[in-house]
């Protein structure tokens, strides 16, 4: 019986390919096939190739490994075909067949890396920027020598949070801070907490680990399932009533909790994950909802700057529009330029891989050019890996949109 339900779950995604009318709208938006002949595009690799993928038979082609998993194809499909999700599952099957490289087992585990690097941050940061070490890493592991890697902050956000008393206002928010905040940008988390508290929330920070997205996007589905379910349980423990919400600032990780783990990893029937999925908000989504209801604090001071805003692919995958754009527009004096490019190219860990780095940089070129032409001094973007890539590609500082609200509230 369980097997049948499992099959039905899987076929729900696969079945959507019958709705494909070959209109090519997905092809027009794919950031990878536009710049590389190694990926034939979402329509070919998805609905078309899927017809040749037979259960219990080997994968017949390997180009789907070059899909970056950005998910834009599914979003723009007017017929509701789950292109990216089908391709992610095909990638998992391919990886099982071909074996997972050591590199993918390492770079998909931000928690291990963070725990290793944090205590020895100066040395780790030096090594990650030491050319001979990077060349060695490229040759030995296949991590591109020029790929943007973050700096270890040398301190952990959770340590700060443990010592930070959040005012007991009774309006509880569970904060999912993700690995980027924990090990690399703890200040982003501190700003999120400050902005939430400024709006009257009591912020609870549970002990938490990775969401499993890097594992999933490299095709390590079993590991990804274990990791995301563990996170869901850690967060759900604090969802004690009907009102409690979970808020995150890493938009790809919140998307993993909301939708990708349920769909791509076929975990839709896990009740804890379902609860967490329904309660999870992207920070900008939450704040804009508050504003739409007249509940957002609007004591903004002017910020006289021009900022370029790029909505990451994974943010757009929330299917909620671009709330950060509307929030930034509330800040007096701030001139916001909406970037109209497809993707920055990085797609989490995709652009770190030696064989994919050039593709990622080529995919981002359009965005980098727009940022440079915008006259903006800084870039706002909801995903940390995208920010690192944009800074790498434009030499301009990039921050989470919440930074601008934090400054406009005068909290800094």
Partner 1 sequence: MTEALHYDAVVIGAGTAGLTAGARLAQAGAKVCVLAKGVGSTHLAPGTIDVLGYAPERVEAPARALPELISEHPDHPYVLLGPETVAEALAWFERTAAAGTLPGYSYSGSLERNQLLPTALGAVRASALVPETMAAGDQPGLGRVAILGTPALRDFHESLCADNLRAAGVQARGISVPLELERADMNALGIARHLDDPEWRATFCAQVSPLLRDEEHLGVPAMLGMRDPHAVLMDLQHRLGRWVFEIPTLPPSVPGMRLYEILRSALRAAGGRLVLGAEVVSHRRDGERVSEVVTRAAGRDLSYAAPWFVLASGGFASDAIELDSHWITHDRVLGLPLRGAPGPGDTRFVRNYLEDQPIARAGIAVDAELRADGAENVLVAGASLPGAVPWREGSGEGIALASGLRAAQVIAGRVREEAVVG
Residues paired with 381 in a beta bridge: 310
Under the criterion CB under 8 A, does residue 74 sit at the interface with partner 1?
yes
- Tell me how far, at minimum, the Cβ of 23 lies from partner 1, in Å: 6
- Tell me how far, at minimum, the Cβ of 102 lies from partner 1, in Å: 30
Under the criterion CB under 8 A, does residue 277 sit at the interface with partner 1?
yes
- Tell me how far, at minimum, the Cβ of 16 lies from partner 1, in Å: 12
Question: What's the CA gap between 69 and 107, in Å, rounded?
Answer: 16
Sign of CA pseudo-dihedral 255, 261, 264, 267: negative
Closer CB to partner 1, residue 121 or residue 362? 362
Of residues 278-317, those binding partner 1 (CB under 8 A): 278, 280, 289, 292-293, 316-317
Spell out the long-range contacts of 385-390 with Cβ–Cβ below 8 A and sequence spacing 24 or more.
Answer: 385/180, 385/252, 385/346, 385/347, 385/348, 385/349, 386/310, 386/312, 386/344, 386/346, 388/148, 388/149, 388/150, 388/346, 389/148, 389/344, 389/345, 389/346, 389/351, 389/360, 389/364, 390/310, 390/344, 390/364
Cα–Cα distances (Å) from 111 to 80, 101, 360, 379, in that order, read 35, 19, 24, 27
For residues 302, 330, 307, 200, the Cα torsion angle rounded to the nearest 10 degrees is: 80
Candidate segments 34-42, 85-93, 139-147, 214-222, binder of partner 1 by CB under 8 A: 34-42
- Tell me how far, at minimum, the Cβ of 338 lies from partner 1, in Å: 7
Under the criterion CB under 8 A, does residue 249 sit at the interface with partner 1?
no
Under the criterion CB under 8 A, does residue 391 sit at the interface with partner 1?
no
Under the criterion CB under 8 A, does residue 235 sit at the interface with partner 1?
no
Which one, of 93, 87, 149, lies nearest residue 352 by Cα? Answer: 149
- Tell me how far, at minimum, the Cβ of 362 lies from partner 1, in Å: 10
Can you tell me which of 137, 255, 307, 381 binds partner 1, judged by CB under 8 A?
255
Of residues 10-29, those binding partner 1 (CB under 8 A): 19, 21, 23-25, 27-29
Q: Which residues bind partner 1 (CB under 8 A)?
A: 19, 21, 23-25, 27-29, 34, 36-37, 74-80, 243, 245, 255, 257-259, 277-278, 280, 289, 292-293, 316-322, 326, 338, 340
């Amino acid at each position: 019986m369980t097997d049948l339900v499992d099959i039905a779950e899987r076929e729900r995604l696969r079945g959507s390919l019958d709705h494909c009318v070959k209109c090519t709208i997905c092809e027009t938006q794919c950031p990878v096939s536009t710049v590389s002949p190694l990926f034939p595009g979402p329509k070919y690799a998805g609905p078309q190739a899927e017809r040749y993928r037979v259960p219990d038979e080997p994968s017949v082609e390997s180009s789907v490994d070059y899909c970056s998993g950005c998910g834009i194809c599914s979003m723009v499909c007017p017929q509701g075909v789950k292109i990216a999700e089908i391709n992610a599952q095909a990638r998992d099957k391919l990886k099982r067949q071909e074996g997972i490289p050591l590199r993918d087992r390492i770079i998909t585990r931000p928690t291990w890396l963070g725990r290793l690097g944090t205590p020895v941050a100066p040395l780790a940061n030096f090594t990650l920027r030491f050319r001979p070490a990077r060349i060695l890493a490229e040759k030995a592991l296949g991590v591109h020598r020029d790929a943007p890697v973050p700096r270890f902050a040398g301190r952990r956000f959770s340590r700060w949070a443990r010592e930070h008393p959040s005012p007991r206002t009774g309006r509880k928010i569970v904060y999912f801070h993700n690995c980027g905040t924990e090990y690399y940008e703890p200040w982003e988390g501190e700003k999120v907490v400050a902005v939430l508290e400024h709006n009257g929330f009591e912020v609870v920070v549970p002990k938490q680990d990775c969401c499993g997205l890097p594992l999933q996007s490299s095709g390590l589905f079993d590991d990804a399932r274990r990791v995301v379910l563990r996170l869901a349980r850690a967060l759900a423990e604090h969802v004690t009533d009907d009102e409690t919400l979970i808020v995150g600032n890493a938009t790809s990780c919140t998307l993993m909790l909301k939708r990708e783990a349920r769909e791509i990893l076929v975990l839709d029937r896990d009740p804890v994950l379902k609860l967490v999925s329904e309660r999870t908000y992207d920070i900008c989504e939450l704040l804009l909802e508050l504003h739409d209801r007249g509940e957002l604090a609007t004591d903004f001071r002017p910020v006289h700057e021009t900022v370029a805003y790029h909505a990451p692919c994974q943010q757009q995958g929330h299917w909620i529009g671009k709330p950060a754009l509307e929030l930034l527009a509330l800040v007096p004096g701030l001139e916001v330029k909406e970037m109209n490019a497809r993707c920055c190219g990085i797609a989490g860990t995709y652009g770190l891989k030696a064989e994919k780095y050039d593709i990622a940089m080529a995919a981002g070129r359009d965005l980098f050019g727009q940022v440079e032409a915008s006259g903006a001094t800084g870039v706002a973007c909801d995903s940390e890996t995208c920010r690192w890539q944009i800074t790498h590609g434009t030499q301009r500082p990039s921050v989470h949109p919440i930074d601008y609200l934090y400054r406009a509230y005068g909290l800094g």
